[in-house]
Amino acid sequence: MKKGILLILPVLFACHQPDHLKSKITHVIQSQEMAWNRGDIEDFMLGYWKNDSMQFITKKGIRYGWKETLNSYKKSYPSKEKMGILHFGELKINCIGTSVGHATGTWQISYPKDSIGGHFSLLFKTFEGKPKIIVDHTW
């Protein structure tokens, strides 16, 4: 009987991992939203994999690297006022195993007189227990 329980425990633990990963990914996205709304691009970037292979894809093309992405954000949004208020919506997260997740949703940045927005698709990979965005496709 003990052997049977010991064999089942890893299976039960694995079944809960996707929910745990979903929760962590949700936390990353919520933390990014809060950082953006504080005007803190550096904190916003903590959700991304700090690596030259990280990809950011837009209608303008593919940007490679964490530092390139940070520099682009700073150039496009040089002040808190230019950053506006960010809201993510329609969030859907699917886990692919215990260390990879995919999130989709909408984004909107509101300004006093108008707003911009679109959709996103984020691929997350877990590094040392923390999910990080390795591919961001935003349009």
Determine if the pTM surpasses 0.85: yes
| Chain mean pLDDT for the chain | 91
Tens digits of residue pLDDT in 86-120: 999 999 999 999 999 999 999 999 999 999 999 99
Domains of the chain, by residue range, sit at 2-138
Contacts of 86 (CB under 8 A, 6+ apart): 33, 36, 37, 107, 108, 109
The answer to whether residues 30 and 43 touch, using CB atoms and an 8 Å cutoff, is no
CB atoms within 10 A of CB 5: 9
Contact of 126 with 100, CB cutoff 8 Å: yes
The domain defined by 2-138 folds into Nuclear Transport Factor 2; Chain: A, (3.10.450)
